[in-house]
Amino acid sequence: MDTILSFLRALAQNNDRNWFLDHKPDYEEARRRFEDLALRFIEGVAAFDERCRGLTLKDCTYRIYRDIRFSADKSPYKTHFGVYVCPQGKKSGRAGYYLHLQPHTEEYFLCAGLYNPTPAVLHSIRDDVAGGGGEALRQALALAPDFALPWDKALRRIPKGYDPADDFSEFYRLRSFELMKPLTLSEVRSAGFLQNSLKALSRTHAFNELLNRAVDYLEN
């Protein structure tokens, strides 16, 4: 893990092509070690979520090169590594399990669920809650009390078409349905990091199943 974190810290301080080319062997070693971690993460997720079986590294990881065409920030490289495991792969639009390592800003976290779903998916999730799924959602959240929903990004008011007197009306205000669990550097560097991360994410399986049911409804 230290090899991965050290390279990412150095890259954040030297985010230009010349430095990257000069340190390409360091990058390749860091990438190799992260891909080994990512493979074990993918296999670990598939052990408790059968819908995630058969995925490859390409399905779940990202290129280090940034798309800077429409960005004011012209830094050519990402300064974090991440792996996202979800049914049918990262481009499927389905809820899944994410691990993020960004040492220069001390951002280490686990995520589950859907980050900024499309309006159609968001509407489907809200309709599922309104149609009787609210209690199941609340119970799923209770299984993962160490994860938090993004209430800071929620709407101030209940969106039109939904009853503010509903027992689960607070969920209608959410614009994003991801659960986040921050990690400390000591947790990331610990011998049981992967095992502990997978154990924590396994508790979000029921939450992801509810969200993916809403996505499946739209597709079917």
State pLDDT tens for residues 4-29: 999 999 999 999 999 999 999 999 99
219 pLDDT more than 90 = no
Question: How many structural domains comprise the chain?
Answer: 1
- Domain extent, residue 169, equals 2-219
Nearest-angstrom CA–CA distance, 196 and 207? 19
Nearest-angstrom CA–CA distance, 205 and 147? 12
What burial class does residue 169 get, using C-beta atoms within 10 Å of its C-beta: 0-12 exposed, 13-18 middle, 19+ buried? middle
> CATH code at 51?
3.30.930
What pLDDT does 69 receive? 82
Question: pTM higher than 0.85 for the full model?
Answer: yes
State pLDDT tens for residues 163-217: 999 999 999 999 999 999 999 999 999 999 999 999 999 999 999 999 999 999 8
Number of H helices, E strands in the chain: 9, 4
Q: Which two tokens stand for residue 81?
A: 């590594």
Radius of gyration of the chain (CA): 19
Pick the closest to residue 17 from 94, 89, 74 (CA basis): 74
Nearest-angstrom CA–CA distance, 168 and 131? 11
Residue type, 9: R
